[in-house]
Amino acid sequence: MDLHLEHVTLVYPDGESTLTAVDDVSLTVPSGTTTALLGPSGSGKSSLLAVAGGLTPPTSGSVTLGDGEPLFTTTTTRDVATRARLDRIGFVFQQPQLIASLTALEQLELLSHLRGKRPSAAREHALSVLDAVGLGPWAHKRPGTLSGGQRQRVAIARALAGSPDVLLVDEPTSALDHERGTEIIELITSLARELGAATLLVSHDESTLDAVDRREQLVDGRLVETSPRTSPGTSPGTGEAA
């Protein structure tokens, strides 16, 4: 399902005043595609991701999936947002945020349990997702015995295990070297395509983003530039502005 952000504005209280972190942003991420969100520090990337994922209600505007009812609006209650996140949205954060005492497989099974899945079906599915991220042989390892790249792959598998409509990814490569960072972006975009997840990915590092379908630029909370997908082998940012 396509993800639609419609006239999203997010204003934070800032002492006696207010700060507009996201300013009237409208954006569609088609199902199965990956849009990278770029922009300087403080431009509102994480804030926009937080609204897209129902972590923060927008001050105005809405988040919709497909042609359905809005998923997150100014009035969405915390309980409704939590359920929508569990059922429809996968998150990958800068740090993998894994539970140290659980194996890779158990990290995925825990969420399946929260979603009310049968344990045997959940295990089989979790193993197939770990296979898809190249971690089949490491399914029974705990985070402490995995590399940084492997831990991020567990986080990606965990985010995708519930077959979410939307995948939201915040700086997934900041703790990785260039080669592993590029591999992680390639993995995310190919799995998003395979699973039909509309994927919005915040990144500082344009050099790892050859595989993404689209780039958007935020400055002072506003979208300023849209570029279509660059062909493999061409340098980024050479597309015509839309």
Ligand X SMILES: Nc1ncnc2c1ncn2[C@@H]1O[C@H](COP(=O)(O)OP(=O)(O)OP(=O)(O)O)[C@@H](O)[C@H]1O
Shortest Å, Cβ 96 to ligand X: 17
Cα–Cα distance between 226 and 33 in angstroms, integer? 15
Residues that bind ligand X in the complex, under the rule CB under 6 A: 12, 19, 21, 39, 41-47
User: Least distance (Å) from ligand X to the CB of residue 14?
Assistant: 6
Q: Pick between residue 76 and residue 94 the one whose CB is nearest to ligand X.
A: 94
Residues whose CB falls within 8 Å of the CB of residue 56, separated by 6 or more in sequence, listed in order: 10, 47, 50
Taking the complex as a whole, the smallest distance from the CB of residue 184 to ligand X amounts, in Å, to 18
Residue whose CB is less far from ligand X, 39 or 57: 39
Q: Which is nearer to ligand X, 122 or 209 (CB)?
A: 209
Residue whose structure tokens are 């959940």: 122
- The Cα 33–Cα 28 span in angstroms is 10
* Residue 102: exposure state from Cβ atoms within 10 A (0-12, 13-18, ≥19): middle
Q: Give me the sheet containing 166-170, strands edge to edge.
A: 89-92, 166-170, 198-202, 34-38, 214-219, 222-227
Residue with smaller CB distance to ligand X, 32 or 42: 42
What does the radius of gyration of the chain's CA atoms come to, in whole angstroms?
18
State in angstroms the smallest separation of the CB of 36 from ligand X: 13
